[in-house]
Amino acid sequence: MWDGQTVSVVFPAYNEEQYIRAAVEDFFLPGVVDEVIVVDNNSRDRTAAEAALTRARVVTETKQGYGHALRRGLREATGDLVIMAEPDGTFVGRDVLKLLAYAGDFDMVCGTRTTRELIWEQANMGWFLRVGNWGVAKLLQVLHDGPSLTDCGCTLRLTRRPALEQILGKLSVGGSHFLPDMVIVALKRGLKVIEVPVNYRGRVGESKITGTLSGTLRTGFRMVSLILMHRVGLGQ
């Protein structure tokens, strides 16, 4: 619990058996986090079984896709403050406190992985990805009158319950370009959004989204297309 409010953490999980238990324990901050939800998105390994050995609540989302898994987790979460994260070792549980520190003043607090001093040596955030994330984030910022944004694809973020209830029914993306959609939908409804720097470490296993150049380019193209579609009124 934080400032009298309950806190939920949502993990989208696809073939994450190697680190899922450690991630749950890392994010289950004593006296702060009230629940952790692991959304098993048709994993072919022991992700669900490993998660079931922890204090987390495990749910299954059969619609394949990063966005589908996160949307299911957001629907399942019961907390007043809902935090999304990754169960692959890239994020640090204690950075939840950074997001919570701004929760009293903002509806959505997004992490950014582009602060060089917080990018760990093993992290998959070379200059190409960092500049690409920054460029797409700036496009979103300019076209949708957003706050200062430097990272279009950071999962680690907090949303307050009243804000979540406003946007959840408007989220429609099921794929890897879900995150900018969430921010744009929030901005369209006049919600207050801020970005804070968080640690970014090397992940356990290979990224399903930016693990290859083709995957990175495909996701970037989808994000840019989404931002432009929203701008001309084709989004929610």
What digits encode the pLDDT tens for the residues 119-140?
998 888 888 888 999 999 999 9
Beta-carbon contacts of 203 under 8 Å, excluding residues fewer than 6 positions away, are 86, 88, 89, 90, 123, 124
Tokens representing residue 51 in the block: 């998660």
Q: What is the pLDDT along the chain (236 residues), one digit of tens a residue?
A: 999 999 999 999 999 999 999 999 999 999 999 999 999 999 999 999 999 999 999 999 999 999 999 999 999 999 999 999 999 999 999 999 999 999 999 999 999 999 999 999 888 888 888 899 999 999 999 999 999 999 999 999 999 999 999 999 999 999 989 999 999 999 999 999 999 999 999 988 665 555 566 777 888 889 999 999 888 876 66
Query: What is the rounded CA–CA span in Å between residue 42 and residue 151?
Result: 28
Beta 57-60 vs 81-84: how paired, if at all? Answer: unpaired
Query: What is the rounded CA–CA span in Å between residue 195 and residue 43?
Result: 31
Q: How large is the angle between the packed helices 178-188 and 213-231, nearest 10 degrees?
A: 20
Query: What is the rounded CA–CA span in Å between residue 64 and residue 235?
Result: 21
Residue 23 Cα distances to 19, 27, 28, 79, 146, angstroms: 6, 6, 8, 19, 31
Query: What is the rounded CA–CA span in Å between residue 137 and residue 149?
Result: 5
pTM for the model stands at 0.92
Query: What is the rounded CA–CA span in Å between residue 158 and residue 9?
Result: 9
Task: Report the CATH architecture of 7-231.
Answer: Alpha-Beta Complex (3.90)
Closest CA to 95 of 221, 200, 14: 200
Tokens representing residue 184 in the block: 């744009």
Beta strands in the chain (DSSP E): 7-13, 35-40, 57-60, 81-84, 108-112, 157-160, 193-197
